[in-house]
Amino acid sequence: MGAYSKALDFYEQSNQIREKSLPPNHPDLAQSYNNIGQVYHDIGDYSKALEFYEKSLTIRQKALPPNHPDLAISYNNIGQVYNNMGDYLKVLEFHDKALKIRQKALPTNHPNFASSYNNIGIVHNNMGDYSKALEFYEKSHQIIEKALPQNHPALATSYNNIGFLYNKMGDYSKALEFYEKSHQIYDKALLPNHPNLALSYNNIGGVYNAMGDYSKALELYEKSHKIYQKALPPNHPNLATSYNNIGPVYNAMGDYSKALAFYEKSHKIYEKALPPNHPDLATSYNNIGQVNNNMGDYSKGVEFYEKSHKILEKALPPNHPRLATSYNNMGTVYHHMGNYPKALEFYEKDLEITRKALPPNHPGLAISYNNIGLVYNHMGDYLKALEFHEKSHQIREKALPSNHPDLAQSYNNIGQVYHDIGDYSKALEFYEKSLKIREKALPPNHPDLATSYNNIGLIYNNMADYCKALEFYEKSLKIIEKALPLTHPDLATSYNNIGRVYKDMGDYSKALEFYEKSHKIKEKALPPNHPDLTTSYNNIGGVYNAMGDYSKAFNFYEKSYQVREKALPPNHPDLAQSYNNIGRVHDNMGEYAKALEFYEKAHTIYEKALPSNHPDLATSHNNIGGVYNNMGDYSKALEFYEKSHQIKEKALPPNHPDLGTSYNNIGVVYNDMGAYSKALEFYEKSYQIREKALPQNHPDLASSYNNIGRVHNNMGDYSKAVEFYEKSHKIYEKALPPNHPDLGTSYSNIGGVYYHMGNYSTALEFYEKAHEIREKALPPNHPDLALSYNNIGGVYNRMGNYSKALDFYEKSQQIREKSLPPNHPNLAISYNNIGGVYKDMGDYLKALEFHEKSHKIREKALPPNHPDVATSYNNMGSVYFNKGDYSKALEYLKKAHEIFVNALPPNHPVLAFPYKWFGKIYRSMKDYAKALDNFERCLSIRQKALLDNHPDRATIYSDVGDVHRLMGNYEKAFAFHRKALNIQENVQCNPLESATTYINLGETYREMKDYSAALIYFEKGLEIREKKLPKYHPDLAFVYHNMAKLYLATRKYSMAMKNIQQAVEIAQEKLPSTHPHLLEYKETFEQI
């Protein structure tokens, strides 16, 4: 400020002398006022400048003829002030007045003519009318070329102005051409340390900066700075401008501390050189605010933006475009802070001023519309976002050349909305349009090209075309590695994106490798509480979660949360995301109360921070619904899933993939509730959306087929189940790498159907394929490996190979003990299954020990009415039944029944099981009336809940028939056994269930002394069991025993002895010495 105050002091002394010595309208007085006005103009006091320029003009209008060139200078100066005040219509009015005088007063090639054209060109440039600006700059240039020698500095200035315009138009090669022409002239015409040479280096540096060649830009800015340091006093504003120009390069390079250092150097000079309300000081505060914003220090960002805004409010008229920019910057910080209503408020203030200050097709208006569009997109109002992005795009199409980078940005932003809407083909179309422009407009290693490749990669990743995604992400990475420093945050983003693809491909070690590379860069480049560091922790946590390493996942999610808590306001959506992620780990660990607590914390923030129909609120309801489903509270689960769905229906287009997910989740609850037709209805709705929205080999389509297959499996329609599981599997085979965990799940699901069909060898084959994939793809203690061992154990158990079954169940248990918390429900499953094997082996004490371990976990981990708690009581009751302790069995099964009745809808298939057990107990207690009553209740539920030909209906028909046999009602017995066989002989189901019916029929014929018919059915049953079961399975011993009794009754003693010996041999091999069946077989042996 010191030099300006000195200048003002001397100009005012001069003016005082002239006021005393000259008449009031003397031209020299006008010159004095003009000089004082010039100082006020340079110090940014535009109202004072205007006052003195108008005093000067008033004298000249009186003292000089109407076409005197000095009048043109006055009009020109007043025009310059209005230009800085942003009143472009006024500017044009005064520059036109100046031009008309010069047209009359001066020869056509006079340099002052060029000055007029140049000034009018500047106004059109500021108004965003680049073609008009170019027209006037070229008129100016033609005059200068004719009027002045070829190395005159004014010619250099002219080339410089044209270069500036091409730079704004995004034509960087043209800009460089004109800036270099300008520089060659300055080089010849001026001294080596002339400030104009510094300006020239600065302008060329600006183009390289825009082209993303930051090292070149720095080199030229530093050359400029050295000249300024030699040519100017240490506090000259141009030196501050020089520091200010170097700052943005370091900012773009991600070196925020360097950027801040240069901006602060610049600021110190401005504070000394300029008055406290000069607009350039506002620019300085603004730049410091921007770096703080990029560093994630949003409160600091707001503080500096507000300082900047206060100066601009004092220094500029209320509708000046720079005030609009100031509102825009504050909007950006609030946008980053997740305060979308505040961001919108500031962006709309920006728009209001911009609409008044600028012509309707000015590129600045396009920026305003664009920013409002971005907020609406984050608020989940996609139609509004598209509306504003399209407004922005229409302006840019009219105002800018067809290959301008800002047009590419427009296409990119519209693509982003279509991406968020889930319309991937449309998103791809717009991202590719953006890429084409950038390929033409930008040098091959420009960072914006990397952004384009990155965005296209993201679409391919969402479309599950992982090879394509990797191809584009790697193209992006190559550019970033060449264009940016090794610690630039964009390099971290690039590694992060590649990591995401590997995670989605199920290659967790590769994913971790890239996420950790990303994290190391962020740790070096960013301050310790920067929000981007939290994204990094979060992503690493996500991989550990997928790997089943929940403690590690928890650790990284916690780190992410701690940074966000310090860096973000308390209601920022990213904080909600942190709570959500921690909740997911608790959910996976079976800690449902904890999961609910964190999901509800997340939900509270989303409710405060987001509009009521934002998709993230839907996700929040969905997560809470998922926990209630896991807790067995199906009505609550449905309530939250439906809330989620209602929001998605309002917020998203009808074919958005997230709507498909919503229908799918509701289907899951209905499936768990046993409402299979309802489940199918919702799964099919989900499928129809996915079929329209996604490519034909997308994994989500496979997931739909899989879910439909699961319902058919539960409905006992096994052929349909296999059909849908195989459709699912074919997609997974095409879409995923050969060792992806989802392929393992697919094999496992097919294995499950064959298991239910009693085709144990095929089931084992598929379970082992699943296990091989999981062994390759997952860490050794992953819960899914435990599931594999569990499934294989289940097959061996059904095959009667109890030692093998125990071996696999124990392997499963060991993994779960290492990978899960001690009260996880999956550990209860392990103990339960081991208990089941001991029960089948007749070791009832061991069986009870494990069932009780299972029950204790479920009592701690689950709500008291959870169906799994009932299953525990049910299984303990079945052990007491096998022990012959019928009162204990009834006690436990009644507890199970009570829970099932409270927890499940009235006709849930599971409700049939307690009645079936009650029937078996009363049958064993020879209370046949009670047995029949309970079997019929079981049948009634199955008739309502299951298809007519469901295999479970056949088994209960057989049970009812067996009681009628025991009650001596053989006709009824035959009728029910025939009903059972009518299903079992005509529907693809478990042949072993048919074998049981044949054996029951045989027993009925034996009691009726129709021994030949009895033998036929015993042999049919035996044939199936011999084919399906291992040689020493206890169920074979049971048939041999029945046949021995038959042969004994018909006095075929050698055949009776042969069969009873086989029965005893198997029982001694497979059953404990105290097992009731073995004792019974020995008794029959003695009889024979």
Is residue 183 one of the residues assigned to a domain? Answer: no
Identify the CATH number of the domain in which residue 741 sits.
1.25.40.10
What is the rounded average pLDDT for all residues in the chain? 91
Q: Give the closest residue to 214 by CA, choosing from 493, 482, 408, 25.
A: 482
Q: How confident is the model at residue 577 (pLDDT cuts 50, 70, 90)?
A: very high
Q: How confident is the model at residue 844 (pLDDT cuts 50, 70, 90)?
A: confident
How far apart are the C-alpha atoms of 208 and 222, rounded to whole Å?
Answer: 13
**Residue 281: predicted pLDDT:** 93
790 with 885, same domain: the answer is yes
Domains contained in the chain, number: 6
Whether 694 shows a pLDDT value over 70: the answer reads yes
How far apart are the C-alpha atoms of 989 and 716, rounded to whole Å?
Answer: 7
Label residues 876-911 b or e (16+ Cβ within 10 Å = b): bbbbbbbbeebeebbebbebbbebbeebbeebbbbb
How far apart are the C-alpha atoms of 546 and 741, rounded to whole Å?
Answer: 10
Q: What percent of the chain has pLDDT over 70?
A: 100
Q: How confident is the model at residue 44 (pLDDT cuts 50, 70, 90)?
A: confident
CB 953 within 8 A of CB 946: yes
Whether 567 shows a pLDDT value over 80: the answer reads yes
**Residue 2: predicted pLDDT:** 57
Q: Point out the domain boundary residue: 722, 744, 777.
A: 777
Q: Point out the domain boundary residue: 526, 561, 578.
A: 526
737 with 829, same domain: the answer is no
**Residue 953: predicted pLDDT:** 94
791 with 893, same domain: the answer is yes
734 with 751, same domain: the answer is yes
Sign of the alpha-carbon torsion through 238, 242, 244, 245: positive
CB 705 within 8 A of CB 687: yes
Cβ neighbours of 510 (radius 10 Å): 16
DSSP per position, 948-992:
TT-HHHHHHHHHHHHHHHHTT-HHHHHHHHHHHHHHHTTS---HH
CB 514 within 8 A of CB 522: no
867 with 910, same domain: the answer is no
Q: Which residue has the tokens 């043109």?
A: 72
How far apart are the C-alpha atoms of 867 and 911, rounded to whole Å?
Answer: 10
Is residue 832 one of the residues assigned to a domain? Answer: yes
Is residue 545 one of the residues assigned to a domain? Answer: no
Question: pLDDT (tens digit, 9 = 90+) per residue, 458-507?
Answer: 999 998 899 999 999 999 999 999 988 888 888 999 999 999 999 998 89
How far apart are the C-alpha atoms of 730 and 742, rounded to whole Å?
Answer: 12
How far apart are the C-alpha atoms of 567 and 527, rounded to whole Å?
Answer: 10
885 with 819, same domain: the answer is yes
Is residue 460 one of the residues assigned to a domain? Answer: yes
CA 796 to chain centroid, in Å, comes to: 41
Q: How confident is the model at residue 610 (pLDDT cuts 50, 70, 90)?
A: confident
DSSP character for 238? H
pTM of the model: 0.81
Whether 118 shows a pLDDT value over 80: the answer reads yes
843 with 916, same domain: the answer is no
802 with 836, same domain: the answer is yes
Q: Give the closest residue to 229 by CA, choosing from 243, 247, 219, 246.
A: 243
Whether 647 shows a pLDDT value over 80: the answer reads yes
Sign of the alpha-carbon torsion through 780, 784, 789, 792: negative
927 with 887, same domain: the answer is no
CB-neighbour burial class of residue 525 (10 A; exposed 0-12, middle 13-18, buried 19+): buried
Range with the poorest average pLDDT among 158-167, 366-375, 786-795? 158-167
**Letter for the amino acid at 374?**
L
Tell me the CA distances in angstroms from 611 to 339, 419, 650, 986, one per residue in order. Answer: 11, 20, 12, 56
How far apart are the C-alpha atoms of 46 and 316, rounded to whole Å?
Answer: 8
765 with 796, same domain: the answer is no
Is residue 175 one of the residues assigned to a domain? Answer: no
- Residue 713 belongs to what domain range? 696-777
How far apart are the C-alpha atoms of 893 and 903, rounded to whole Å?
Answer: 15
Q: Point out the domain boundary residue: 749, 777, 805.
A: 777
Is residue 757 one of the residues assigned to a domain? Answer: yes
How far apart are the C-alpha atoms of 655 and 691, rounded to whole Å?
Answer: 9
Is residue 992 one of the residues assigned to a domain? Answer: yes
Cβ neighbours of 654 (radius 10 Å): 9
3-state DSSP call for residue 602?
A: helix
Is residue 670 one of the residues assigned to a domain? Answer: no
794 with 893, same domain: the answer is yes
994 with 1044, same domain: the answer is no
